[in-house]
A and B are shown apart, each in its own frame.
Chain A
Amino acid sequence: MNLTRRQALVLSAGAAALAVAGLDASAAFADAAAADKMMMDFTGGKKPETGRISLNTPEIAENGNTVPVSVSVDSPMTDKDHVQAVMLLALGNPNPGVITFQFTPMSGAAAASTRMRLAKTQNVIAIAKMSNGSVYMDKKQVKVTIGGCGG
């Protein structure tokens, strides 16, 4: 059957909409796949639950070159029950990986702060991996007025 140009256009628009709908709507298409892979590698394939981890970022970052970020995880930090690592991903950056903090029971508390670069307004996620294998995440959106990737 011959498609009219109008029919072909409607078909392709539909296909594009389906593809986007399956992904997190707030992440750029290409970055979502890279971020997903980094997350799955970190968690060993486990899907993170919400809770226990708290990600703190400013609502609006005046300067994308230096955005303060801190994470804190509710954990007794004992030998038997502690946070092993927390990974931060910036879903709208050219590369989503930001930093991975490694904790030990000697950390005393599973909390850390730093400053990161964000290229544009985007979601930032923090994933915590516990000594018993459980995984938690938190997500925040940061609005960026001046992008921070050297432009």
Chain B
Amino acid sequence: MATPRPRLKLPKTAKAGEVITIKTLINHPMESGQRKDKQGNKIPRKIINKFTCEFEGQTVFASDISPAISSNPYFEFNAKPMKSGTFKFTWVDDDGSKYTLEQAIEVK
């Protein structure tokens, strides 16, 4: 499995009180546990099971994810940052690995 590298589309600036749109993508096979290999054995489940977006330590949006989410999981959602600060995004794998990304936003 290639190392998951998350990607993010997040505006660099926003007006106070504005609702912004955030898009995230992470490369991950999201092995559902339903597929079989050539010998007929089930390939074990291995997915990203949790995604969290925080702003200055407070949760903005989160998802509890099942194997029914497509590979290379994509999420689009909103946020309303009231001041300048840093967003932190976390993806958690079934095996406990965590992938994170941080990005600042300037709120005018």
Taking beta carbons and an 8 Å cutoff, which residues of A are in contact with B? 65-67, 70, 77, 90, 93-95, 97-109, 111-118, 148-150
A47 shortest CB reach to chain B, Å: 23
Tell me how many residue pairs across A and B have CB atoms closer than 8 Å: 100
Residues of B in contact, count (CB < 8 Å):
30
Q: Name the one of A101, A108, A113 contacting B79, with C-beta atoms under 8 angstroms.
A: A108
Taking beta carbons and an 8 Å cutoff, which residues of B are in contact with A? 19-20, 32, 34-36, 55, 58-71, 73-81
Query: Does the CB pair B61–A112 fall under 8 Å?
Result: yes
CA distance in complex: A141, B48 (Å): 27
B54 shortest CB reach to chain A, Å: 9
Query: Does the CB pair A116–B60 fall under 8 Å?
Result: no
**Inter-chain pairs besides A101-B62, A103-B61, A113-B76, 18 sampled, C-beta below 8 Å:** A65-B70, A67-B70, A70-B76, A77-B80, A99-B63, A102-B59, A104-B61, A107-B61, A107-B77, A107-B80, A108-B78, A109-B80, A111-B77, A115-B70, A115-B74, A117-B67, A117-B70, A150-B34
